[in-house]
Amino acid sequence: MRYEEIDHTADVGIRAYGRTVDELFANAAEGMFSFIADLSRVKPVGEVEVRLEADDLPTLLLRWLSELLYVHETQRLLFSSFEVHVVGMSLEGRARGEAIEKKRHELKLAIKAVTRHGLTVDPDKGIAEVIFDI
């Protein structure tokens, strides 16, 4: 299992799993986009590159997911495939997907923001938890 939904009263959240920090971040991104659309219908034909830095891993995860959400909203793209490389507190990532096509892509939830509430990244346990404002 790469990720699962976690219960939250007003918002939605995920618990991502990974053997490495790179895998954790990629699976968290996939989990976030699974709330937005059926990823089996999103073809990884286009690519965006993301480069970020932060002071700690939770903030790096928050910035990574927030950047992908921003690109989704401003460029009307859906992503289904993610590649992440974290070195120290720097991230280089790629998200692959395509433009939203209303005939093929049924949008599920509109995520407003990635929150700091309950945000955890524990590479030793291979778990990250994120709550999204909807």
State residue 44's pLDDT score: 95
| Measured distance CA(81)–CA(42) in Å, rounded | 9
| CATH code of the domain covering residue 50 | 3.55.10.10
Residue 124: exposed, middle, or buried by beta-carbon count in 10 A (0-12, 13-18, 19+)? exposed
Give the mean model confidence (pLDDT) for residues 23-45: 97
State residue 46's pLDDT score: 96
State residue 101's pLDDT score: 95
* Count of domains observed in the chain: 1
Q: Which amino acid is at 13?
A: G
Give the mean model confidence (pLDDT) for residues 126-133: 97
Measured at the CA of 63, the angle between CA 118 and CA 52, to 5 degrees, comes to: 145
Residue 13 structural domain: 3-133
Say yes or no to pLDDT of 8 above 90.
no
Enumerate residues 6+ apart whose C-beta is below 8 A from 74.
Answer: none
State residue 109's pLDDT score: 92
Q: How confident is the model at residue 9 (pLDDT cuts 50, 70, 90)?
A: confident
pLDDT in tens, 62-108: 999 999 999 999 999 999 999 999 999 999 999 999 999 989 999 99
Would you give the end-to-end CA distance of the chain in angstroms? Answer: 24
pLDDT in tens, 42-72: 999 999 999 999 999 999 999 999 999 999 9
Whether the Cβ atoms of residue 12 and residue 130 lie closer than 8 Å to each other: no
**Residue 116 is inside which H or E element, if any?**
none
